[in-house]
Structure 1
Amino acid sequence: MLFKWVMVFGFVCLILGLSLYTRTKTNTIDDFVVGNRSVGPWMSAFSFGTTYFSAVLIIGFAGKVGWGYGLSAVWIAIGNALIGTFLAWKIMGSRTRELSGRLNVLTMPSFLEARYDSPNMRIFASLIIFIFFIPYSASVFMGLSYLFEQIFSIPYVWALIFMTLLTGLYLVLGGYKAVALIDFMLGIIMLAGIILMVKYVVGNDAVGGILKGYQSLKAIDPGLVSPVGPPGWVGIISLVLLTSLGTWGMPQMIQKFYGIKNQQVIPRATIVSTIFSLVITGGAYYVGSLSHLFFKSLPVYGGKPSPDLLMPNIINQALPELVAVLILLLVLSASMSTLSGLVLVSSSSVAIDLVKGAINPDLDEKKTMLLVRVLCVVFVGLSLWLALNPPGIILTLMALSWGTVAGAFLAPYLYGLYGKRTTRAGAWAGMITGLFISLGGYFIIATAPDFISPGIIRTLQAWGSPFFGTLAMIVPLMVVPLVSWLTPEYSPEHLGKVFGKKELATENA
């Protein structure tokens, strides 16, 4: 136990040391929010990957989805690598870096305001980010705390408090430069940890190797080794699209493109980030799919079956103690990176877009930086409160917040990058449609209104929040161009400001 604590203490000292080092290099709001747009390919790639995957993946998604879908859960890993990472970099990376630099914007709400000439959209977007990133952050806290409880026998509450303090210090001290540098270090830990986790779980007597594990799962339920798993195609496709396509509209992911040094960085970062994604998600979902070999029924927490305890218990049973501590550091690494991205984006959006952008335009840079740091503390405090009073399981929290934010932003942002015919009304219609579908779906699942037949309710509940989160992203992709086609287009002067007069002239010619 002493050696476990020494490893964790050394890890914490490393993180805080790097944060203090970057603190001396963070002097402006550009430094704090986007690293002064000076981040190279490896740090950009690892920062994208470590922000993408957190304790929600390792503890929540991998366990619950693996238990329900079996080996078909690996489709999600493939989707995350190809759609959520490779295509995100190919389609969004270069264009985001180009337009954000030309418009001199630091946040997604600022981009939406500049692209659609709508200050109200900037305010609305910043409020969405702040409100719905709190449950997302809380889900990360919850997942990590379950693992602390299993490996160190630390009460859930104390683990939450420790994580809150560490995250607050880590981010407030260093800003985006600390995030990028530390994410690179954390990414290395994550890769080593996931490879060792797969090795020891597959080699455990309960699994007995890849082939025997496959045969044992098939004996329990042939559906666990089928291409689509027991819940069927709708469920697995919803999860693939929710967790993959969602990165295209999540502000903390898009922000990684804002900080890229130049266009030459993107090709190498794309390949590195895709490989990283495939290794991390492939390992996590594969281990989760083997959970039936370790448990006959779901573990119980607080008197109720909890899929969130599957992965912590597998790690505790199958891995040597020191390797289990490394897995703890893996999850801690992923969670710290995700949390720092969420906190930085939400706090900077409120400070820059809401307070300075709408309430007090004369706020100077020094006070704006102070406000961002204060809001970082407020944000992690609210996330802690929600994690201590959780309304549901990790998967539900994450799916609700991820689906709502991505549903609101994906279509307006994507069309805003490429669609010169996209109008302000079209963007508003897309944002509102995404919000309505995601929140309405959660309401239907949670409350089961009497006017909907029980059969439909059971089907929707089986598909779960991921189905509505996916629908919230897809439907606005049709709504935005339709409404834009019906409403007046922007003037050539505005489009020239956004896309560059040279690009417009070339297309007109």
Structure 2
Amino acid sequence: MDLMILSMVVLIFLLINAYVGYVAWRRTKSAEDYMVAGRETHPFIMALSYGSTFISTAAIVGFGGVAANYGMGILWLVFLNILIGIFIAFVFFGKRTRRMGHNLGALTFPEFLSKRFNSKFIQYFSGAVIFIGMPLYASVVLVGMARFVETTLQIDYNIALIVMAIIVALYVIFGGIRGVMYTDALQGSIMFFGMIFLVVTTYWMLGGVTDANQALTNLVNVIPTNATSMATATGFTGWTSMPALGSAFWWTLVSSLILGVGIGVLSQPQLVVRFMTVKTNRELNRGVLIGAVFIFVMTFGAYVVGALSNVYFFQTTGQTAVQAAGGNLDKVIPTFITAAMPLWFAYIFMVALLSAAMSTLSSQFHVQGTAFGRDIYETLVRKTGGSSVRVARIGIVIAVFIAVILGFILPASVVAVGTAMWFGITAAAFLAIYVAALYWKRATKEGAIAGLISGALVSLIWLVFGFKKSAEGLGVSKALLGQSTVITTVPWPTVDPMIIALPVAVVMTIVVTLLTKPPEKEFLDKCFNGIRSGKEE
């Protein structure tokens, strides 16, 4: 390790971030500035902030490790990320969210839902879901970065975890959403070019695109883990093909990793709030292409490199990538870069990963803080103005503390799993009523509350009693029922909670809405002002 080069790279990176955070702090004068950047964000900054918030160390380290274990089948998630996470999110959700959020004066996602359905309960319940549940996602992002620093630089994992959490917390606490989005744009640019270099170098090192992909295909008889029965027990069919339909491998890959994240992106509070930071729909239209290119490069690059790392490790050590990383999926990408790339690139890519982690963490901490300050405290105490910003900053400190504690105690190979779980939770709780808020004028407060509670509750129950990855860790089902999951028959233990909970939330929203009185026309006119015949002004 060349301490001089490393110190210079990190120092320059931190100084630039500090300056950008300072500029944001100087421009933050009101609660609207702190929470939605005054609704005047440039489309380039908004799109890069959206993309870099979406793509974190969870995508690069966590899902790169997943690709090393599941192969190229994970590339279906790239397709969903662009189709749903960018095109559908910006065009069909973003425009209406921006306009309706402006009509209602909403500054947070829970407040948006609350004002659309005229229910304070929705605001503080949604805020509680975010503040209680999001630390899991924040902690796995921290874990992803800390694992890279630990593996690449031989720095203690615990130290790396704490230091990075403090750095991010500082510029979020003082700069608000401006600080988050300005630094996101900077960090996203670094991530973009770092990933391009990594993909190109990996293919070049393995003999080119055709030779590298063929070499991966030829490893069809090499089992992903140490279990010799993996191929027949789980449905593994090769590194460049999908698992056997309906197998445990297939259900985990498709229901949790591909659908859970691919659909769950629409209901991510830290992403939805980005739509409310721009002035007109023109900015959203211009942001689609920027966001799509960024997401494609980052996700395609991470997943391809993760899968191809098997070729490198098999040729050099006779092991799969997961075996070379000691069985920990979260160490595959760090181990590959340390072993295969020059030292200077390891330092540069560390900055790219630091950027990925910081851009996502900053948004997570900001959303948790505003959920605590505006959606829970201000709603229950009924105080407005500067008090909610002060309490939001306290909430950020609490959120950082919880994320660090979880980072100490979470098990190995948790980054992708934790990400998918959080995306699934938000989809189950929020997606049905979010769609209804934007597109179904008949939707009622009672229907929205029913959908929100049922989605969150069923998701929680399945996480505790039905989904093996979480149920085994929690141990509640084992203690009460004597078995790790309530249903042990395949494929149920591998079916993601979202697959169970989201349909329940949709049905409850529709049924309860049809059984209750429609909203007043004057109220709906206010909500949908400027939204006519499917078009948004």
Normalised by the size of structure 2, how large is the TM-score?
Answer: 0.87
The CA deviation string for residues 406-438 of structure 1, in whole angstroms up to 9 with x for no partner, is 210111111111111111222122222322332
* Match runs of 1:38-49 below 5 Å: 38-49=40-51
One-letter code aligned to 1:370: R
Instruction: Quote the Cα distance in structure 1 between the aligned partners of 2:192 and 2:294.
Output: 8
2:513 is aligned with 1:484 = yes
Instruction: Quote the Cα distance in structure 2 between the aligned partners of 1:27 and 1:96.
Output: 24
Residue 166 of structure 2 is matched in structure 1 by 165
Residue 279 of structure 2 is matched in structure 1 by 261
Q: CA deviation at 1:501?
A: 9.1
Q: CA deviation at 1:314?
A: 0.9
Q: Secondary structure at the match of 2:83?
A: helix
* Match runs of 1:58-69 below 5 Å: 58-64=60-66, 66-69=67-70
The CA deviation string for residues 474-495 of structure 1, in whole angstroms up to 9 with x for no partner, is 5423432233223222122322
**CA distance 1:152–1:76, shift in 2 (3 Å):** same
Residue 339 of structure 1 is matched in structure 2 by 361
Out of 439, 445, 463, the position equivalent to 1:418 is 439
Instruction: Quote the Cα distance in structure 2 between the aligned partners of 1:281 and 1:172.
Output: 29
The CA deviation string for residues 288-335 of structure 1, in whole angstroms up to 9 with x for no partner, is 11232225253488xx72111111111111211111222111111111
The CA deviation string for residues 1-23 of structure 1, in whole angstroms up to 9 with x for no partner, is 22022101110111011111221
Q: Does the 8 Å CA contact 1:228/1:236 hold for their aligned counterparts?
A: no
* Match runs of 1:347-358 below 5 Å: 347-358=369-380
Out of 203, 226, 242, the position equivalent to 1:228 is 242
Q: Secondary structure at the match of 1:264?
A: helix
Instruction: Quote the Cα distance in structure 2 between the aligned partners of 1:484 and 1:131.
Output: 28
* Match runs of 1:259-338 below 5 Å: 259-293=277-311, 294=313, 296-297=319-320, 298-299=322-323, 305-338=327-360
Residue 199 of structure 2 is matched in structure 1 by 198
Aligned CA RMSD, in angstroms, stands at 2.4
Residue 457 of structure 2 is matched in structure 1 by 436
Q: CA deviation at 1:200?
A: 1.8
**CA distance 1:503–1:217, shift in 2 (3 Å):** closer
Residue 409 of structure 2 is matched in structure 1 by 389
Q: Does the 8 Å CA contact 2:137/2:418 hold for their aligned counterparts?
A: yes
Q: Does the 8 Å CA contact 1:299/1:309 hold for their aligned counterparts?
A: no
Identity of aligned residues (%): 29
Tell me how many residue pairs correspond in the alignment. Answer: 497
Residue 523 of structure 2 is matched in structure 1 by 494
Instruction: Quote the Cα distance in structure 1 between the aligned partners of 2:388 and 2:254.
Output: 42
One-letter code aligned to 1:479: M
Q: Secondary structure at the match of 1:221?
A: helix
**Range with greater deviation from structure 2 (485-494 or 263-272):** 485-494
Residue 37 of structure 2 is matched in structure 1 by 35
Instruction: Quote the Cα distance in structure 2 between the aligned partners of 1:473 and 1:323.
Output: 43
The CA deviation string for residues 433-456 of structure 1, in whole angstroms up to 9 with x for no partner, is 322332223222124665889996
Residue 398 of structure 1 is matched in structure 2 by 419
**CA distance 1:452–1:72, shift in 2 (3 Å):** same
Instruction: Quote the Cα distance in structure 1 between the aligned partners of 2:462 and 2:485.
Output: 15
2:218 is aligned with 1:219 = yes
Q: Does the 8 Å CA contact 2:219/2:239 hold for their aligned counterparts?
A: no
Instruction: Quote the Cα distance in structure 1 between the aligned partners of 2:171 and 2:388.
Output: 19
**Range with greater deviation from structure 2 (5-14 or 452-461):** 452-461
**CA distance 1:27–1:200, shift in 2 (3 Å):** same
Residue 254 of structure 2 is matched in structure 1 by 237
Instruction: Quote the Cα distance in structure 1 between the aligned partners of 2:169 and 2:111.
Output: 25
Unaligned runs of 5+ in 2: 222-236
Normalised by the size of structure 1, how large is the TM-score?
Answer: 0.92
* Match runs of 1:110-125 below 5 Å: 110-125=111-126
